[in-house]
Amino acid sequence: MTAPHQRYRRAIAIPVGMAMATALAVLPNATAAAAETPAAPAADASSFSYVVNVRPGHGTSAQVKKAVGKAGGTVVTSYDQIGVIVAHSANPDFAKDMRRVRGVESAGATRTAPLPAQSTTDVGTPKVLGADEVAAAEAAGGQDPLEPQQWDLPAIKADQAHKKSLGSSKVTVAVLDTGVDDTHPDLAPNFDREASVNCVSGKPNTTDGAWRPGPDESAHGTHVAGEIAAAKNGIGMTGVAPGVKVSGIKVSNPDGFFYTEAVVCGFVWAAEHGVDVTNNSYYTDPWYFNCKDDPDQQALVEALTRATRYAERKGAVNVAAAGNENYDFAEDEITDPVSPNDSTPTERIVDPSECYDIPTQLPGVVTVAATGAKGIKSSFSNYGRGFIDIAAPGGDSTSYQKPEPPATNGRILGTLPGGKWGYMAGTSMASPHVAGVAALIKSTHPYAPPAMVKALLYAEADAVPCTDPYDIDGDGKVDAVCEGPKNRNGFYGWGMADALDAVTR
């Protein structure tokens, strides 16, 4: 049972009868200013974007930058600390020419469509809930009004954790995504402006508000931010870690593409601005899988590997969504029908041990699977022993896993631009739950390095045995096969993230 691909790892399109519509709920009198993001540097219509990887720390960047010009390129920016240069060129042989330059370890095009990227269709129009449904929610027992709709919080014991700790305001989680509306009343109290930026062009844009989504751009990043750190302030919902800070690092362009140069910029920015956790609910376009035997794709893997490792060396735990195609990454072969997704896709067979979904498959990154309201793998969640590290609520179709009352929706509640709230589902929603738990661990152990935070995250997870047989739609056909013991298997990894242990151990 395989669902269609989405760049955003949420609210995936599913066949009729399994639809997972996104719902919005409006807070009366709430307003939000969604500033448009300044455009990326202008480029010739036939220009493409590239990353050129050099040996960091060996004085090679300067000479390679000169070679970029000789090869018909222009340097956009350079991350000398990790040896990654971002360049534009209209020379169709630019990457090949650069790979022959002394000191260049790899080089490749970050896209298959010329600059600027071509437009794509919208990921879907949300279904709106009436404002009366929000007004009818009453705060009780110290809860925020919409918390009773958040079945996902008790699923990871976050409701119990909040009685002990809400997390530290000295901890920041960066949301690398489509942008964050920091004017939302549930996000404004916890927003870290200093750690926020627009990285869409591959070069940091520090214009105030540049991290926000434009008026016609996806609400995805704002939703993720609310799941992590919506304030416990008597308004709306409650995040997993409602006392920590959240920042917005915009890495998705207006057409919804997450290109390598933007993502590299995002990780480097997070590394150099004191971020403790990064959340990554996307895959890096245009290739769902980047194969090492392709020189362009290999260069993208190398650039992002350097960026994620740099962020971790600087103190950040990197958390990423596993993906929404019900793929078994332990298999020898997977069919990728959507790459490259910014031009003309060609179906190809890939080996996931040699072709990487980035950043989720990169070394050191925490890979998160999704579960539904009944605590079993979401119908769409990718899986595979040795691939999944941990699981958390990501929601599912209510027809599969309706939550217990008073919650009425099998998806995940989050903040949306313009002072709204709504439901989405996907591994995109599971990843921020784990990012929130990691932030609680960092709050409890402020001097713990990333390796220790990850070790505690896994050790404190509640072991979940394989779901066998896994027939989520009840049609008598097994929809996925789980392998491994209860504390390290292909569906749930080390188990379900545990927020209570994060603040008590």
Q: Which amino acid is at 42?
A: A
Which residue ranges does the chain devote to CATH 3.40.50.200?
A: 144-504
Q: Is 216 exposed, middle or buried (CB count within 10 Å of its CB: 0-12, 13-18, 19+)? A: exposed
pLDDT score of 61: 77
- Helix or strand (DSSP H, E) at 154: helix 152-155
**Separation between Cα atoms, residue 304 and residue 84, nearest integer Å:** 9
Q: How far is CA 210 from CA 44, 193, 248, 439, in A?
A: 24, 11, 9, 25
**Separation between Cα atoms, residue 492 and residue 227, nearest integer Å:** 20
pLDDT score of 116: 75
Judge whether residue 52 has pLDDT over 50. Answer: yes
pLDDT band at 117 (very low <50, low <70, confident <90, very high): low
Mind listing the pLDDT tens digit for each residue in 161-197? 999 999 999 999 999 999 999 999 999 999 999 999 9
pLDDT score of 406: 92
pLDDT score of 135: 55
pLDDT score of 398: 84
pLDDT score of 179: 97
Closest by Cα among 8, 37, 75, 48 to 343:
48
Which residue ranges does the chain devote to CATH 3.30.70.80?
A: 48-109
Judge whether residue 249 has pLDDT over 90. Answer: yes
pLDDT band at 341 (very low <50, low <70, confident <90, very high): very high
Mind listing the pLDDT tens digit for each residue in 358-374? 999 999 999 999 999 99
pLDDT band at 45 (very low <50, low <70, confident <90, very high): low
Which CATH code of 3.40.50.200, 3.40.50.2000, 3.40.190.10, 3.40.50.620 fits the domain covering 144-504? 3.40.50.200
pLDDT score of 32: 32
Average pLDDT across the chain, whole number: 89
Highest mean pLDDT among 53-57, 73-77, 112-116: 73-77
Contact (CB, 8 A) for 251 and 267? no
> How crowded is residue 162: how many other Cβ atoms within 10 Å of its Cβ?
25
pLDDT score of 131: 56
**Homologous superfamily of 48-109:** Peptidase S8 propeptide/proteinase inhibitor I9 (3.30.70.80)
Contact (CB, 8 A) for 499 and 437? yes
Mind listing the pLDDT tens digit for each residue in 274-316? 999 999 999 999 999 999 999 999 999 999 999 999 999 999 9
